[in-house]
Amino acid sequence: MTTICFVGAGSAEFTRQLLRDLLGYDDLGPLTLVLHDIDERRLRLAHDVARLTVDHHARQAEVRAEPDLRRALAGADFVVNCVSVGGHGATVTDFEVPARYGVRQTIADTLGVGGVFRALRTFPVLDAIADGMRAECPDAWLLNYTNPMAMNLQYLGARHRDVRALGLCHSVYWTVHDLSELVGVPLEEVTFHSAGVNHQAWVLRWERDGESLYPLLDERIAADPELRRRVRVDMYRRLGYYPTETSEHSSEYVAWYLHDDAEIERLRIPVGDYLGISAANLAEIEALEPLVAQGLYTEPEEEAAEYAPQVVHSLVTGLRRTIQVTVPNAGLMPDFAAGAGVEVPCVVDGDGPRPLVVDPLPPACAALNRQFLSVVDLTVRAAVEQSPELVRRALMVDPNTAATLSVEAIWDLADDMVLAHAERLPPALREALRP
């Protein structure tokens, strides 16, 4: 019997999507699904959703809700992490405090002020999960969905090297899916190769029958002025390779757009976009509760195409797949330092996951990733070395923050963020440091 533990299962909509994909496989054998969350109401909902999903798919699976993390982890083969520390309230803080200083953000979960502080409040939870896995399920795989992905996987590599972990994100899949749809080529006829860092990787090769599809994309862009009003298209036209996260995300990881009113208008950048998404996620959960209470199964509207069910299926059945993963760099990407959180292709089958070595990136792409990873590295070091100064230095080298604020204002903003999130941060990082 395969045991899968969902940590942060109270993210009920996402848990529901993962379960639908997982229970769609009819060759996995009996399953034990253990759901953990610190919010009792959300945990109850997740349990009932899981039970309904199991019944709908007529699968042999035991479902158990467990509020104690160590008991939830006991005997797990896979641990799926989708924790959001602080929930919607912390997300609002991540936007509102920087906005008072004039720092614009769109998603705020990967880099920048929001990404740095999301990481700092997530690291203690990663410590608890890793310690629990070491004690209760040392051979399990940790499948992490929680952002900021590169920071979280680099931190796990620095602090918990014995824990087997993969960072999973669907951004590359959906980028290739949408590009193929844009040029009218069926996805099943497409092959691709991507590498870089999570949310800022690059579609290095995108082909049908060995022929690049980029010329077709160039034709579409040339024919449609509205396409040229997207951040990713603008970056592609200037860099030669398409980035692998949405334009909303991509605008935050460079110094070129968000500080400039004209660029926001030209490229239609939705400042503060994730605030609405986060609020909508809460509303979805509120709407789901009465349906579940009536015992009604409802199919998730979005196609998930998530990697965690695929990893479980491949490791259990031996079916070979190639997916994208974030892992600490161990000679996989020669452009970047050892231990850096990098995103690369990975073969998965009965012998386990095997991340693939990739060739050096195009120079400009590598340069942008290095700047991205500089913020990642300083944030991880701040936590590992318990250094409040390094938190400020991470924000000083962040492209969007540095393009917007003076260094004095960056330090003041960091102090205000520390005060706003104090109870969620590691104790050593709660100190205000006004120079």
- State yes or no: cis peptide before 148, omega within 30 of 0: yes
Tokens representing 116 are 């740095």
Residue 243 CA to residue 207 CA, distance in Å, equals: 16
Residue 182 CA to residue 239 CA, distance in Å, equals: 20
Q: For residue 234, give Cα distances in angstroms to 36, 184, 200, 250.
A: 42, 21, 14, 11
For the annotated catalytic residues, the residue numbers are: 170
Residue 228 CA to residue 344 CA, distance in Å, equals: 28
Dihedral of the CA atoms 279, 54, 346, 130 (nearest 10)?
70
Residue 232's nearest CA partner among 201, 189, 196 is 201
Whats the size of the chain, residue-wise? 435
